[in-house]
Amino acid sequence: MGEPAGRDEADALVRYELRGDVALIGLNRPDKRNAISDRFVEAIGAAVLRAGTEARAGVIWGAGTHFCAGLDLGEHAQKSLMQSVQGSRQWHRIFDLIERGTIPFVSALQGAVVGGGFELAASTHIRVAEDSAFFALPEGQRGIFVGGGGSVRIARLIGSGRMGDMMLTGRVLTAAEMERWGGVSYVVPEGAALDKAVALAGQAAGNAEMTNYAILNALPRIRDMSSEDGLFVESLMSALTTGTPEAEERLRAFLEKRAAKVAAPGDA
């Protein structure tokens, strides 16, 4: 695994910016198409933890023309078997900070969203892809297997059969195709992903904090439960969120007609 990335190195690998309640975490290795090394993952983890203390939502984006081309194969090829296992588990821990942390994350995707880059995107809660984005899982052709949580997260997004197709054949999908498969939430014109992601993160940041926490942490666990267990946990979370002072104020605002009603798309 090596020594943890120092602050200067982490700052070089990851850009960090706070825009109001939204933290922007930028992958900053464009000369390598933002390929992820273990030190890079540690730097992402540090930024995610920081965002959890300073922001109410986050955006993960990639500098340059690509979001992330995946695993740094030069580093990976030099690892022992145990180092490979430890590295994979470190990726799992850090990507879990995104998926089941304290704030929601949106990813802004362009160019290559490949291998570990797709695994990183899959750990975010909303994925916005530009028309230029393309998705691939070339591990089968490299003689390796996914190690950043893709066998769980990507398979649950698009189905294990489709994921297996991508890995077995090297199939590359466009943003529009991935949207149809369920791996992308929004497709936008080239150059528009970051602005759209920030806007969506801003909307999520405006939600009640406890509700967001329940969405991030209860919803995926309920998915893994039996129907009856899931419904029981849903009842508990419904009661817990409703009982917060923030929820009480929001409900009062709606009842007193101080909050907007849900409207059809396009309505003012």
Per-residue pLDDT at 76: 61
Write out the two tokens for 186: 């929004």
Please determine, for residue 82, whether its predicted confidence score (pLDDT) is greater than 80.
Answer: yes
Q: Does the domain made of 209-255 have the CATH classification 3.30.230.10?
A: no
The fraction of the chain above a pLDDT of 90, given in percent, is: 73
**pLDDT higher for 126 or 83?**
126
Per-residue pLDDT at 5: 47
Nearest-angstrom CA–CA distance, 236 and 230: 10
Residue 139 appears among annotated catalytic residues: yes
Asked if residues 13 and 29 have their Cβ atoms less than 8 Å apart, the reply is yes
Per-residue pLDDT at 4: 47
- At how many degrees (to 10) do helices 150-158 and 160-169 cross? 110
Choose, from 42, 99, 130, 139, the residue flagged as catalytic. Answer: 139
Write out the two tokens for 130: 């530009």
Nearest-angstrom CA–CA distance, 231 and 23: 33
Choose, from 42, 99, 119, 130, the residue flagged as catalytic. Answer: 119
Q: Name the nearest CA neighbour of 109 among 23, 179, 204, 39.
A: 179
The average confidence (pLDDT) of the chain is: 91
Asked if residues 163 and 154 have their Cβ atoms less than 8 Å apart, the reply is yes
CATH level 2 (architecture), domain 7-205: Alpha-Beta Complex (3.90)
Per-residue pLDDT at 243: 83
In the chain, ranges of CATH 3.90.226.10 domains:
7-205
Please determine, for residue 87, whether its predicted confidence score (pLDDT) is greater than 80.
Answer: yes
In the chain, ranges of CATH 1.10.12.10 domains:
209-255
CA dihedral 245, 251, 257, 258 (to 10 degrees): 30
3-class secondary structure for 65-113? CCCECCECHHHHCCCCHHHHHHHHHHHHHHHHHHHCCCCCEEEEECCEE
Predicted TM-score of the model (pTM) = 0.89
Q: How many residues does the chain have?
A: 268
DSSP strand pairing (14-19 vs 22-27): antiparallel
Can you tell me the mean pLDDT for 80-109?
93
Residue 228 appears among annotated catalytic residues: no
Q: Name the nearest CA neighbour of 113 among 76, 160, 60.
A: 60
Q: Name the nearest CA neighbour of 59 among 10, 7, 3, 120.
A: 120
Nearest-angstrom CA–CA distance, 70 and 72: 7
3-state secondary structure of 61: strand
